[in-house]
Amino acid sequence: MAQESNELMDKLAALCKRRGFIFQSSEIYGGIGGFWDYGPLGVELKRNLKDAWWHDVVRRRDDVVGLDCSIIMNPKVWEASGHLGGFSDPMVTCKDCKKHMRADHLGLCVIHQCEKIPDEEFAAQLDALGPAAVKWGGPEGFMVANGASVEEIQAGLRRRLGSKRAKVVLRGQAMFAQDGDRTCFLEQGRPADWSRLNTPDARCPHCGGELTEPRQFNLMFKTFVGAMEDSSSVAYLRPETAQGIFANYRNVLDTTRLRMPFGIAQIGKSFRNEINPRNYTFRSREFEQMEIEFFCHPNEADKWYEYWRDARYQWYVGLGLKSSKLRLRNHEKDELAHYARACADIEYEFPFGISELEGVANRTDYDLTRHQKFSGKDMAYFDDQTRQRYIPFVIEPSGGVDRGVLALLCEAYAEDQAPDENGQMQTRTLMRFHPRLAPVKVAVFPLVKKEGMPEIAEKIYRDCQAAGLASFYDEKGAVGRRYRRQDEAGTPFCVTVDGQTLADQTVTVRDRDSLAQDRIPADKVLAYVQQRLR
């Protein structure tokens, strides 16, 4: 099964390169890991996905507006959001081949010892959360507040390790953390002094060399603003688009006539300096997100969470991800982030495994409360009808554009048997995109380059193009090979002008998936295609 999956991924990557969907960035110089370029077909597919999202969640609704925030923001934004202190992964380096790897991806358990007391600000935050709370404690580990339950400590441990199987068990008055065969003792009743879990003698998977001790690696790309490169000019490329929405929440509220509940949507680039980008375009260092932050009354948050969770899943189904590979998975309580009240993942079974396409979370009032504290700006909403003042809860559907494109590519890829121009059955490779998303909607061919056929075909092509349909004109090579090229591009309809056209002004329209051919008047091609694209 693993071999078949690898072969499918290799075939898909080869088609994407051959037909101009996806190229490796800077390929002529050997490339650069974690960065990808979209070719002529790929950029159309990606744009169609983004346009479909924007049309469905912004333009068709009267309770969601759009936003386009800058990639570089005031560093205090990332301090308030927690990215400066806790946005990191455990990294190891091979002492021989010098490759960097995430320790948790190698099956290593990494809990760094807390060597210092949290700063005053962190301690105050911890106390404010009450007796049952688990919070990050900076780059050295995380702390457990007095009275935290076993379930809460276990949830924090799993997040820290990146392991869903890690668990916390009580033996008398002692508490232990377990992950597989590895066990360590945890202190209870005060901020925990973590000990590293015992790990096997792990070796580098590339060369077998010895690995360094794990160390935390912040995932944000650092840059400098202005003429000086010193601590006062440090800035970061945003690791997510959500914080720009939270920072502008007050501006949107003050400049529109929106009332609760309402949403703010954004599509934009984000950047994460992944230690080990992998799985083609799935985990990249530069990627695009499409996110909604939907603000509502705390008492209505559960209802709106369920609404967006189900609506977002059905949206992917409507775009053609109808197979059993698409699934909706609700998070267990011990999987939730410390700020989340509920969360669900819309997952897809890629050739390399089941992974998240989009997450939908009830983030409570965590983000607005944090930005209110760090900025000193009032983030409360005043309802002039009920005379009630409150900080809204936020429901966040957050999807990856690049992951969505990859899922569409995987779902669309197919091979079947079809006759070639000589009537011989041959294996045909095709991309069964939903017509709404197909990079090219219609291709137009003259059967031969003579007898006035090119002129008729080109007029049909120009009419379709003028109507806004992504169209393609091709008069080179045998018509069978032209069909094959369009099958691999995912073009749903091919129109052929032939000898009969000269006699009765009709053309052949070929369906990509069924291979059925309809004979219709040449001047009805545009209407025919438009009707089937709805």
Domains of the chain: 2-85+220-409 (3.30.930.10), 109-198 (no CATH), 440-533 (3.40.50.800)
CA distance 220 to 232: 17
Tokens of 352: 């390399």
Nearest to 33 by CA among 99, 106, 104, 108: 99
Q: E strands of 435-505, at which residues?
A: 442-446, 471-473, 493-497
Tokens of 62: 């009267």
Strands of the sheet containing 506-511, edge to edge, are: 471-473, 442-446, 493-497, 506-511, 517-521
Q: Is 529 helix (H, G, I), strand (E, B) or coil?
A: helix
CA distance 110 to 158: 11
Half-sphere exposure of 163 (CA within 13 A, CB side): 23
Nearest to 469 by CA among 445, 509, 440, 507: 440
Tokens of 421: 């121009």
Tokens of 224: 């400098």
Annotate 244-289 with three-state secondary structure: HHHHHHHHHHHHCCCCCCEEEEEEEEEECCCCCCECCCCECCEEEE
pTM, entire model: 0.78
Annotate 134-157 with three-state secondary structure: EEEECECCEEECCCCCHHHHHHHH
CA distance 282 to 34: 9
CB-CB contact of 100 with 275 (8 Å):
yes
Tokens of 10: 């290799």
CA distance 136 to 118: 10
CA distance 372 to 199: 42
CA distance 137 to 166: 19
Q: What pLDDT shows up at residue 22?
A: 94
Nearest to 457 by CA among 499, 487, 512: 499
45 vs 373, 398, 416, CA distance in Å?
42, 19, 23
Q: What pLDDT shows up at residue 157?
A: 65
Single-letter amino acid, residue 347:
E
Could you read off the pLDDT tens digit of each residue along the chain, which spans 534 residues? Answer: 556 667 888 999 999 999 999 999 999 989 898 999 999 999 999 999 999 999 999 999 999 999 999 999 998 998 888 777 655 566 677 877 877 776 655 654 443 333 233 344 444 444 443 433 333 333 333 344 444 556 666 776 676 556 677 676 554 444 555 655 554 544 433 333 333 333 445 677 778 787 776 666 667 888 899 888 877 888 999 999 999 999 999 999 999 989 999 999 999 999 998 877 788 898 899 999 999 999 999 999 999 999 999 999 999 999 999 878 999 999 887 677 777 889 999 999 998 888 899 999 999 999 999 999 999 999 999 998 889 999 999 999 999 999 999 999 999 999 887 776 666 778 889 999 999 999 999 999 999 888 889 999 999 999 999 999 999 999 898 888 899 999 999 999 999 999 899 999 999 999 999 999 999 999 999 999 999 887
CB-CB contact of 488 with 431 (8 Å):
yes
CA distance 534 to 516: 19
- Count the residues in the chain: 534
CA distance 134 to 371: 20
- Per the listing, tokens 């809460």 go with 152
CA distance 313 to 510: 32
Q: Following DSSP, what letter does each residue of 402-443 receive, concatenated?
A: HHHHHHHHHHHEEEEEEE-TTS-EEEEEEE---TTT-S-SEE
CB-CB contact of 237 with 218 (8 Å):
no
Q: What pLDDT shows up at residue 275?
A: 75
Q: What pLDDT shows up at residue 138?
A: 35
Q: Is 458 helix (H, G, I), strand (E, B) or coil?
A: helix
Residue 4: how many other CB atoms lie within 10 Å: 9
Residue 181: how many other CB atoms lie within 10 Å: 8
Query: Which helix (H) or strand (E) is 129 found in, with range?
Result: none
Single-letter amino acid, residue 353:
G
Q: Is 327 helix (H, G, I), strand (E, B) or coil?
A: strand
Tokens of 400: 């990856």
Q: What pLDDT shows up at residue 439?
A: 96
Q: What is the DSSP letter of 189?
A: S
